[in-house]
Structure formats: structure tokens, C-alpha cells
Amino acid sequence: MIHALSREIPVNIRFFNGRVIAFYGDSNIIDGGEVIVTGDTIAYCGDGKDSRYNEVCQGLSFDREMDLKGNVIMPGFKNCHTHSGMAFLRSMADDMKLEDWLNKQIFPREARLTADDIYYSTKLSVMEYLTGGVTGICDMYLMPEAIARATEETGMRCVQCGCVNNFSQSAGLLKEWYENYNKENSLTSFRLGIHAEYTCSEELLKEISTLVHEKKAPLYLHMSETEFEVQGCRERHQGLSPVEYLDSLGLFDYGALFFHGVHVTDKDLEIMKKRSIAVVTNPASNAKLASGIAPISRYLKEGVKLGIGTDGPASNNCLDMFREMFLTTALGKLKENDAAAVDAMEVLRIACSEGAEVIGLPECDSLAEGKKADLIVLDLFAPNMQPLNNIMKNIVYSGSKANVKLTMIDGVIRYEDGAFNIGEDPERIYSEVSRTVERINKEIEV
């Protein structure tokens, strides 16, 4: 385990001799670039040859200077939709239809979860995020207190959203969490959220609508993931799609973030544009559950803001943003029957920068002065990344978690060259999650 550099004492780190992808200003890569981090903030990003560089460095002593040796330094990936606490379910219930997967396998096991179960499963997921260059997540699951404790202890930046439904959580709890977890200078923030239209009664949805209007805040939710979901809503609500129905209740008056957005109509898209609704695509999960392929190319053409997510480790089962990026562009091309659709450069920008915006982390969208020091270093001197014909497209089409050398969040290196800095022995996390699986399986059998 690498030694932690205290967050209580400002730490100064200089990264030099790198290829900088800043996602700030033009899209050019800065060869031989430098990034200077002071505390939790980026103090400088550039070629090291301007007057600002001299101003920043004057009188500054560095706790560490890292020669990147030509490797890439860039903002970390934002996993914009996940269920970290579901790690205990990985490969537990595969090769099933979504409705059977949920009702026969997932819900019965989730009903037996304790706070400690979610706490350790979340820590396990954080370890995987770190090895894959993820510096921020949007997490939807049960027991937000356990999630917040796990992510803060491991140093992961986490935007939580509610998962209110007919069976757990409530409008009252959602309000309480929203007011308690949105504090300055915290790695944890919270958004209003429900599980989905099909798990919420109209009475409950009206309560949430009241809260949305009280807080003047967007709503986060699973939306139009499957044809079965859309058809069920139409049967229940006089032919209205889920988007139309929830909009009629005022739930989107202050915007929304849709997770999935696979099956949308022209009318849905009109509402989405009118309400400034963004979408998080989850291509691996949607493919594995045969839910469909989201219309990414159309979203891009219509100006709909996008993020990319893995979904949870039970439905995916891999928390790998490299795979999600590849599938976002590859399935987008397949859907349009057009190899030029959904350009890889755009996908990389979404994964690192635009995703930060859609989940409410604009301070983490680029390597610009004053932004949060959430960054990663990628190894270019591996067979899968050579030759360097187009580095940014290489990352999307050829890159893998094996290329992640370093992950920094809030100015603290949490993962470097295979070693974790998360405040706990990884073996204990593995052991605790295994105990959760064994206990719940025994309870299910009884």
C-alpha cells in the first residue's frame, strides 16, 4: 500500500514531461506538458514555458516531482451511473431477462442487506473504479449513510442520488439526505432521485414532485430502459410514455438526468430538449440485459448532454469505463449502420468532461487552473497503445484498465502502479464481501 499524503496539510506535486489532455480550451495535446497540484487544486496546466508557470513555481517547494516520461495525464473518467453496493451480486444472477433478474434474484437478496454489507461492497467497487481511472461516480443505491462512509474513507468523489420506490426510502428521507449531504468541501454530494416510474405509485411521485419544486432541483432516475417498461407505462397511464407521464406530474420542471434512455420517441425528445434533460448511457449493461441500444448519435445531433456509466456490478458485471467508451461508439455505429457515427474523440470528451457536468461536478471537468485535482496517468508505452498515431482515439479503441498507472482524487493519489491508498487492507474488503454473499445465500436457501 502506498503511503497517504495527508489532506490536512497542503501537498504540492509537479507532474512534468507528459502528454497533457486538458479538455480545456482547444483539443490539442500538450507535448512535454506540466501539471502542478497544490492541495486539492490544479494550480497550473500548460507547457511550462509561459510567465504563469514561473509565477506559480516561485517560492513553491514540491513534496513530489513525477517525470511522466511521455505518458498521458488527463482528467479522470466520470462513471455517471452505478450501483456500487451491488458488488456482492457480481455473477450471481446472469443470463436472465431484466424483470426476472430484478424480481427473482436481486430484490430478494437486497432485502437482506445490512449497512455493513453495503459499506464493504461499495469499498470493493471503489477499488475497481480506481484501477480503471475513475475519479468520480454517480451512485444510486440503498442506505446512503453506508455509501457516504465507504466513499469518503476510500477517497472517492461520489454524487449520490435517491432510489425512492414503493418498497424502500421515501420523500421524507430524500429531503433529509438532500439537505444533509450537500456540504461544501465534501467528497459526497446528493441529488433528488427515484428508482423508476414502474416502481413508484402516482401518490409517491406527486410527493417527489412537491419536493422537486421546493428544492428547485433536477430529478435523477432510471428512464425508458426497456420496451417492457415503456409499454407497461402506456398501459397504466392512458397511452403516455414514461417521459410524458412523469413530465405531466411536473417532475422535470427543473430538469432531469435519465439513466439509460434507450427507448425514446420524438415526443419524448421534444420534452427532453425543452426541460434540458441529460442522459447517461450504459451500453454494456443494456447489451447484456438485451435492453437495446440507446440513440447516441441522435442525442449528439439534437444537443442532448450525455454521460457514460457502467451501471452496477450485478448487471454489467464490470466497472470498466474503457469498455463502456468502446461500446458507446461501436454500438452507436451499429445502430446507425454508419461507421462514421459517434466519433471516439467525442466519446472520450463525454467520459472525462461532459459527464462531470451532467452529474453536477463542473469543478472536475478539466485540467484547468482552479479546478479540482482529479486526474489520471495512462501508460502509452504498452503494446496496445503503440504506435501513437492518434492518442485520444487509441484510448477509446485500444485502451484498457491495464494502462492506468495513477489515479488522483482531490489532490491525493489513491492508486499507483497496482497499489491502493484507501485506508484499509484490500484483503479485508474481499473477505467481508465474501461473508455477505455466504450469509445471504444461506438465508435465501432457508
Q: Cell numbers at residue 228, please? A: 417492457
Residue 312's pLDDT band (boundaries 50, 70, 90)? very high
What pLDDT, in 10s, does the model give residues 407-426? Answer: 999 999 999 999 999 999 99
Residue 281's pLDDT band (boundaries 50, 70, 90)? very high
Question: What pLDDT does residue 5 have?
Answer: 42
Looking at residues 66-74, what average pLDDT do you find?
Answer: 98
Residue 9's pLDDT band (boundaries 50, 70, 90)? low
- Per the prediction, the chain carries an average pLDDT of 95
> What are the structural domains, with CATH classification, of the chain?
12-75+372-420 (2.30.40.10), 77-360 (3.20.20.140)
What pLDDT, in 10s, does the model give residues 156-194? Answer: 999 999 999 999 999 999 999 999 999 888 899 999 999
Question: What pLDDT does residue 382 have?
Answer: 97
* Least confident stretch, 48-52, 95-99, 115-119: 95-99
Q: Looking at the predicted structure, is the pLDDT value of residue 300 above 60?
A: yes
**Nearest Cα residue to 122 out of 442, 436, 412, 440:** 436
Residue 3's pLDDT band (boundaries 50, 70, 90)? very low
Looking at residues 295-299, what average pLDDT do you find?
Answer: 98
What pLDDT, in 10s, does the model give residues 334-359? Answer: 999 999 999 999 999 999 999 999 99
Question: What pLDDT does residue 98 have?
Answer: 74
Looking at residues 383-403, what average pLDDT do you find?
Answer: 97
Question: What pLDDT does residue 137 have?
Answer: 98
Measure the CA–CA gap between 39 and 20, rounded to whole angstroms.
20
Q: Looking at the predicted structure, is the pLDDT value of residue 2 above 60?
A: no
Q: Looking at the predicted structure, is the pLDDT value of residue 6 above 50?
A: no
The 3 state secondary structure assigned to the chain is CCCCCCCCCCCEEEEEEEEECCCCCCCCCEEEEEEEEECCEEEEEECCCCHHHHHHHCCCCCCEEEECCCCEEEECEEEEEECHHHHHHCCCCCCCCHHHHHHHHHHHHHCCCCHHHHHHHHHHHHHHHHHCCEEEEEEECCCHHHHHHHHHHHCCEEEEECCECCCCCCHHHHHHHHHHHCCCCCCEEEEEEECCHHHCCHHHHHHHHHHHHHHCCCEEEEECCCHHHHHHHHHHCCCCCHHHHHHHCCCCCCCEEEEECCCCCHHHHHHHHHCCCEEEECHHHHHHCCCCCCCHHHHHHHCCCEEECCCCCCCCCCCCHHHHHHHHHHHHHHHHCCCCCCCHHHHHHHHHHHHHHHCCCHHHCCCCCCCECCEEEECCCCHHHCCCCCHHHHHHHCCCHHHEEEEEECCEEEEECCEECCCCCHHHHHHHHHHHHHHHHHHHHC
Residue 398's pLDDT band (boundaries 50, 70, 90)? very high
Q: Looking at the predicted structure, is the pLDDT value of residue 4 above 50?
A: no
Q: Cell numbers at residue 257, please? A: 438526468
- Edge-to-edge strands of the sheet including 306-308? 77-82, 134-140, 157-161, 188-193, 219-223, 256-260, 278-281, 306-308
What pLDDT, in 10s, does the model give residues 361-386? Answer: 999 999 999 999 999 999 999 999 99
Looking at residues 243-256, what average pLDDT do you find?
Answer: 98
**Nearest Cα residue to 113 out of 444, 436, 446, 441:** 436
Under a CB-based contact definition with an 8 Å cutoff, are residues 375 and 33 in contact? no
Looking at residues 436-442, what average pLDDT do you find?
Answer: 94
Question: What pLDDT does residue 99 have?
Answer: 79
Looking at residues 126-151, what average pLDDT do you find?
Answer: 97
Looking at residues 249-267, what average pLDDT do you find?
Answer: 98
Q: Higher model confidence: residue 44 or residue 91?
A: 44
The gap from C-alpha 436 to its chain's centroid, in whole angstroms, comes to 25
